[in-house]
Amino acid sequence: MVFLSVGCADQEAEARRSKQEAEAKARAEAARKEMVTLPKAFKSRDYFKKNEPDQKSDPAPEKSTTNP
C-alpha cells in the first residue's frame, strides 16, 4: 500500500513540474517579445546631439501695420 501512494505522489510532482516549466517558457517568451517591442516604442535620447529648437517649415505671415 505504501508503494501506491508514492506512485501517485510522483505523478503529481511530475505534472506540477511540467506545468511550472510551461509557465516559465510562456513568461520567457512574453519577456522576449516585450524586449523586442519596447525599443521601438520608446526611443532613447541622443545625448551627444545639441539641444537646438525645431525649425518651423513655414513662418507665420507678418501683419501689416498700415490701416486700409
pLDDT tens digits, residue range 12-56?
Answer: 999 999 999 999 999 999 999 998 888 777 777 777 777 776 776
pLDDT at 5: 52
Dist CA 61 CA 55 (whole Å): 16
User: Average pLDDT in the 58-68 region?
Assistant: 58
- 4/47: higher pLDDT: 47
Distance, in Å, from the CA atom of 62 to the CA atom of 9, rounded to the nearest integer, reads 85
Q: What angle do CA 19, 21, 22 make, to 5 degrees?
A: 65
Radius of gyration of the chain (CA): 32
Question: Taking residues 2-12, what's their average pLDDT?
Answer: 65
Listed residue (17, 15, 37) closest to 25, CA to CA: 17
